[in-house]
Structure 1
């Protein structure tokens, strides 16, 4: 019989990419972890993970099972929180899912206000690299509310938060010409090596699409998983970067230009069904204070 503990082991191995790191995070021995994973694979009738020399990879069976494992763990956590709330131990917990760039630039002001107004409500944040991963997580029931680009074909409630603007970052002493209104044509940067995003990162697709519209394919000088690293690498001279304007710190040393043809992305909050009062209250705070 499959147990929640075994599902937790599977999810942790996948998220850490290593049996060793997963065992450390779970505070169990690696042999115990491996034994439970073998028991889980035996119970489902096939391998879930492919053991590689330096990492692990999900098998087709593993990819099919992973979203259900995450959903089962999320449901169990919500049940635990509901019981604690009924006993008076905690006033509530909100599970919020988003993409990396939004957690960095859009959410902090809203979370600060929420924490000040609702100090008795914990917020657990789940971050994903791509909007499709975020959508899949919500379909699997892993969070109460998702915040990110509008999901295609979503049938649940969706609330528009605003439009995110993207800017081009260059070194402060960069020689690229800009117009008097502080804009730059992306085509002028066609010969540059770019600060790009890692494959699978949602902003990698956005950059590729914007450059394709300008008539070229961006040549990467470096690829990063971290949205916050892109403007810093660009300011350091590795190449131009396309970043959400809201991720730039107030004291930023790089040169910031707007694309001649604006690049924007609608951001929304969405759920599977009509929100409960706690989630609805958080949605109101988002609408008023999210940095979009």
Structure 2
């Protein structure tokens, strides 16, 4: 079924408001034949005449009187839509859906969100969290968010922006024999015979810990598996075993021991979208790149 166009509705309203095809054509900056053609097309679409042409004016038919309020409402809604889009592009209002892995929402994101709210209080952020980078990528592919923040997505064909390098640290109790060493580092092989604070199998950090330990020549035994990423450093500080955690998630005034792995354990964090991002998404990604507590790539 053919639907009326906004232009046709605008032409109808203007003819009624001016009371004349001639004056309406002048106001709309179109020729009178073009205006008449659009009105006839609208009448054809709606199945009957809308205007009665009188010698010096026009008069609405019963159908025209029924249609006119809806035409005015449609034009007003279109104006509101345009104004909203302009305010969103100007970062005055809107909503941005951001998908992240758990460690990002715990570590680098809170100060970014705080600054975003200060700068753009009218723009809401809807946060979606995922335990694994693969599920984050699947969610973005399915269109569940405007922007994803996580490790480099393999095979991604959309725009990718590198944010920096996320450093990992080994967490031990404050009274651990390895605490206080001047170098502030530890080789993972020194911890090969210990049971670790591991992660639940569906947490992406479980794969990362297994990978870096395999590279060091051993498989980490799990003393406990943390469902929540934020629990890992707390369990390690309590003496349940060493934990490998993103340095950004360690809380302030932490009472455990932090040692840098030797060799370092790092991963690059990115922000990525499916298509060329709109101004709202670009503005958030720009702030993220400036505010995120990660090392430059």
| Same fold by TM-score greater than 0.5 | yes
Following superposition, the deviation at residue 290 of structure 1 comes to 1.2
TM-score of the two chains, using structure 1 as the length reference? 0.69
Unpaired runs of 5+ residues, structure 2, are 1-80
Cα distance, 1:165 vs. partner?
Answer: 0.3
Report the Cα distance in structure 2 between the residues aligned to 1:179 and 1:255, rounded to whole angstroms: 10
How many residue pairs align between the two structures? 211
Partner residue of 2:93?
91
Specify the alignment match of 2:189 in structure 1: 187
Are positions 1:275 and 2:277 aligned together?
A: yes
Mapped to 2, the partners of 1:225 and 1:164 lie a distance apart of 21
* Distance across 2 between alignment mates of 1:86 and 1:206: 42
Residue number in structure 2 paired with 1:218 = 220
Alignment-derived partner of residue 8 in structure 2: none
CA distance in 1, matches of 2:185, 2:268: 21
Spell out, residue by residue over 1:160-218, the C-alpha distance to the aligned partner (whole angstroms, 9 max, x if none).
Answer: 10000000000000113675321001111111110000002110000001111111110
Contact 2:98 2:145 in 1 (8 A): yes
* Cα separation, 2, equivalents of 1:241 and 1:145: 30
Query: Residue 156 of structure 1 aligns with which residue?
Result: 158
Counterpart-to-counterpart distance in 2, 1:222 and 1:277: 45
* Structure 1 residues 125 and 83: CA distance shift in structure 2, 3 A: farther
Tell me, what secondary structure is at the counterpart of 1:215?
Answer: coil
**Contact 1:178–1:257, Cα closer than 8 Å, also in 2:** no
Partner SS for 1:141 = coil
Change (3 A) 1:84 1:227: farther
Match of 1:24 in 2: none
* Superposed CA RMSD: 2.0
Alignment of 1:32-47 (within 5 A): none
Task: Determine which of 131, 134, 137 is the counterpart of 1:132.
Answer: 134
Distance 2:102 2:288 in 1: 17
Contact (CA 8 Å) 2:196, 2:240: kept in 1 or not?
yes
Give a deviation string over 1:209-246, Cα, whole Å, max 9, x none.
11111111101011012111000000000000000001
Q: Unaligned regions of 5+ residues in structure 1, if any?
A: 1-81
Which of 118, 122, 125 is the aligned partner of 2:124?
122
Alpha-carbon spacing, 1:88–1:207, altered in 2? closer, same or farther (3 Å)? closer
Q: Which residue of 2 aligns with 1:12?
A: none
Deviations along 1:135-183, whole A, 9 cap, x unmatched? Answer: 0000000000000000001110000100000000000001136753210
Residue 234 of structure 1, aligned match among 217, 233, 236:
236
**Secondary structure of residue in 1 paired with 2:117:** helix
* Distance (Å, rounded) in 1 between the aligned partners of 2:255 and 2:188: 21
